[in-house]
């Protein structure tokens, strides 16, 4: 730009202004901006001052079930955290912000269709003695093996779906001779998300662990065993008390499922699983009003093509991600999507993860294994103690050992008999983060603001509801009033930090997703 004669260009200086920015998502960030000021003007303060606490959350009232569609609202750290909690095992530090930056459609797809190869990131799991775990042999090490995958896998959605199907087709080591056979079943469950439900039912019907658990290897034409036939219809494909099948259908299906056998080895347990035509009932059977010389594959096919299967599948799958029933339009659309896709699983899952109800509906209680994994992921801790097995059992979920063929009762995740184990999970997880009150390394002066920020940062900045944050602040403010002598200063502040970590990690904000 030309300068007029007799005028002078105004001289400026460039300054860097630093200030705290509250994102409203439970995080306060330091932002640095370059600004120009005229010479002589007072420069901005370089010191941004003490870091403020994040703005407490005041979530909106959960919305009623929405029509079928795609979530169109604001997708930021809070929504990304919910997605990671329900389609995975919670975020690692900074992961929710990174996922949110992808934008909503790509964020979902990055979980359901990962482009990178499977990796387990971080130290290998060890037991309490620092020795490598033995998932095929040592009691409880199968639980540690799976928990480690939840914590370290770069494909958390696949691991979460394995947990979903483990509950759906609940099989327990209590009725299976080898932990190896349970882990072999895990790999089938994990791979199932990319296929059809037909394939999953066929695969698990003749899976060695399932054959033992529901006596499929003891089902002969001379003595038909109805266990698997009944659960296939009641729990796996059609649902109970819906009029989908009769007792005669169960009996006839049991005949069609005959023929599978195994041998017994005193050292290895059940081995050599095979179909033996001599043990199979070759007679005519009538199932769901259809007559034929049906075999085990036919039973699976008749169940998944039954007119009442699709809505059962959709409703059950939905319940693992959203705690309220879908609207009529959503149910109809998901059933249509499922049937048009030849009963492929992934398209229905992706539609559920994109649905507004997941982000605007009510919260869900994290299952114990998910809570345990999310705690370790937030703290950046590996699996390095056997204690996770008995703590998981005490909290109501020992992996590979559901209580019965119906799976776990998610309505009792938080009760007076299980909540103590969750508290102890936090205690054990924080052991390596615990501040020794007597080693004189902790600060002798620390404000409530700094103490809260320090605890929140250690746990990946979980967003706290206003009533919970206010209680923690009130507690923190009370601690200094109990300090009577100078020697108490450091120990009391260190113990306050330990208490804040325990309370935040045990709070509803961390227990819910």
Angle at 158 between CA 203 and CA 233, to 5 degrees: 35
Output the pLDDT for position 38.
65
Distance CA 250, CA 233 (A): 8
Q: pLDDT by residue (tens digit) across 294-345? A: 999 999 999 999 999 999 999 999 999 999 999 999 999 999 999 999 999 9
Output the pLDDT for position 462.
95
Query: Is residue 482 in some structural domain?
Result: yes
Output the pLDDT for position 1.
46
Distance CA 210, CA 215 (A): 8
First to last CA, the chain: 57
Query: Is residue 421 in some structural domain?
Result: no
Q: pLDDT by residue (tens digit) across 429-450? A: 999 999 998 988 898 999 999 9
Tell me the percentage of the chain whose pLDDT exceeds 90. Answer: 87
Q: How many domains does the chain have?
A: 1
Average pLDDT over residues 366-389: 97
Distance CA 348, CA 354 (A): 10
Q: Confidence band (pLDDT; 50, 70, 90) for 33?
A: confident
Output the pLDDT for position 66.
96
More confident site: 91 or 9: 91
Backbone angle region of 293, left / alpha / beta, with phi > 0 → left and psi within -120 to 50 → alpha: beta
Closest to 236 measured CA to CA, from 292, 317, 291? 317
Output the pLDDT for position 10.
56
Query: Is residue 341 in some structural domain?
Result: no
Average pLDDT over residues 443-461: 95
Give bridge partners of residue 28 from the DSSP assignment.
22
Query: Is residue 300 in some structural domain?
Result: no
Output the pLDDT for position 383.
98
Query: Is residue 362 in some structural domain?
Result: no
More confident site: 31 or 336: 336
CA distance to 182, 207, 385, per residue, from 135 (Å): 10, 19, 13
Q: pLDDT by residue (tens digit) across 388-422? A: 999 999 999 999 999 999 999 988 899 998 999 99
Q: pLDDT by residue (tens digit) across 117-146? A: 999 999 999 999 999 999 999 999 999 999
Please state, as a whole number, how many other Cβ atoms lie within 10 Å of the Cβ of residue 289: 8
Query: Is residue 329 in some structural domain?
Result: no
Output the pLDDT for position 32.
83
Distance CA 300, CA 231 (A): 12
The residue with tokens 């296939």 is 232
How high does pLDDT run on average in the chain?
94
Q: Are 405 and 170 in contact (CB under 8 A)?
A: yes
Q: pLDDT by residue (tens digit) across 65-103? A: 999 999 999 999 999 999 999 999 999 999 999 999 999
* pLDDT higher than 90, residue 151: yes
φ, ψ dihedrals at 40, nearest 5°: 95, -25
Please state, as a whole number, how many other Cβ atoms lie within 10 Å of the Cβ of residue 463: 22
Query: Is residue 34 in some structural domain?
Result: no
Query: Is residue 201 in some structural domain?
Result: no
Output the pLDDT for position 36.
67
Q: Exposed e or buried b for every residue in 428-442, given b needs 16+ CB within 10 A? A: ebbeebebebeeeeb
Please state which of the ranges 124-128, 241-245, 485-489 shows the lowest mean pLDDT. Answer: 485-489
Domain span at residue 490 reads 434-511
pTM of the entire predicted model:
0.93
């Amino acid at each position: 730009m030309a300068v007029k004669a007799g005028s002078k260009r105004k001289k400026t200086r460039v300054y860097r202004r630093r200030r705290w920015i509250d994102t409203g998502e439970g995080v306060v960030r330091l932002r640095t901006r370059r600004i120009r000021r005229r010479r002589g003007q007072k420069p901005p303060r370089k010191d941004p001052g003490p870091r403020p606490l994040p703005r407490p959350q005041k979530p909106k009232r959960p919305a009623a079930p929405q029509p079928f569609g795609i979530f169109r609202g604001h997708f930021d750290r809070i929504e990304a955290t919910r997605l990671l909690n329900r389609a995975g095992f919670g975020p690692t530090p900074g992961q929710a912000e990174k996922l949110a930056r992808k934008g909503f459609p790509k964020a979902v797809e990055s979980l359901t269709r990962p482009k990178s190869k499977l990796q387990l990131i971080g130290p290998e799991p060890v037991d309490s003695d620092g020795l490598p775990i033995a998932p095929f042999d040592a009691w409880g090490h199968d639980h540690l093996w799976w928990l480690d995958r939840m914590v370290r896998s770069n494909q958390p959605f696949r691991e979460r779906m394995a947990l979903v199907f483990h509950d759906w087709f609940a099989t327990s080591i209590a009725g299976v001779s080898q932990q190896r056979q349970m882990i072999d079943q895990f790999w089938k469950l994990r791979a199932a998300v990319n296929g059809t439900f037909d394939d999953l039912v066929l695969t698990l019907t003749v899976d060695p662990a399932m054959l033992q658990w529901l006596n499929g290897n003891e089902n002969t034409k001379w003595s038909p065993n109805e266990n698997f036939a009944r659960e296939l219809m009641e729990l796996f494909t059609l649902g109970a008390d819906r009029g989908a099948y009769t007792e005669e259908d169960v009996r006839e299906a049991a005949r069609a499922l005959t023929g599978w056998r195994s041998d017994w080895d005193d050292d290895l347990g059940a081995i050599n699983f095979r179909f033996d035509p001599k043990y199979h009932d070759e007679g005519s059977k009538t199932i769901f009003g259809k007559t034929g010389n049906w075999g085990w594959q036919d039973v699976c096919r008749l169940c998944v093509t039954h007119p009442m299967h699709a809505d059962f599948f959709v409703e059950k799958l939905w319940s693992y991600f959203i705690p309220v029933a879908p609207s009529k339009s959503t149910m109809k659309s998901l059933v249509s999507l499922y049937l048009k896709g030849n009963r492929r699983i992934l398209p229905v899952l992706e539609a559920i993860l994109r649905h507004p109800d997941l982000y605007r509906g009510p919260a869900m209680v994290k299952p114990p294994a998910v809570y345990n994994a999310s705690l370790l992921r937030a703290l950046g801790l590996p699996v390095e103690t056997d204690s996770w097995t008995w703590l998981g059992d005490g909290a109501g979920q020992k992996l590979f050992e559901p209580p019965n063929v119906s799976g776990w009762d998610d309505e009792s995740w938080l009760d007076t008999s299980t909540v103590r184990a969750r508290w102890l999970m936090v205690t054990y997880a924080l052991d390596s983060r615990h501040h020794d009150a007597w080693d004189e390394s902790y600060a002798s002066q620390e404000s409530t603001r700094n103490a809260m920020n320090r605890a929140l940062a250690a746990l990946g900045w979980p967003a706290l509801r206003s009533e919970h944050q206010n209680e923690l602040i009130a507690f923190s403010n009370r601690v200094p009033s109990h300090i009577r002598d100078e020697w108490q200063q450091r120990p009391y502040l260190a113990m306050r930090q330990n208490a804040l970590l325990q309370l935040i990690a045990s709070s509803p904000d961390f227990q819910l997703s």
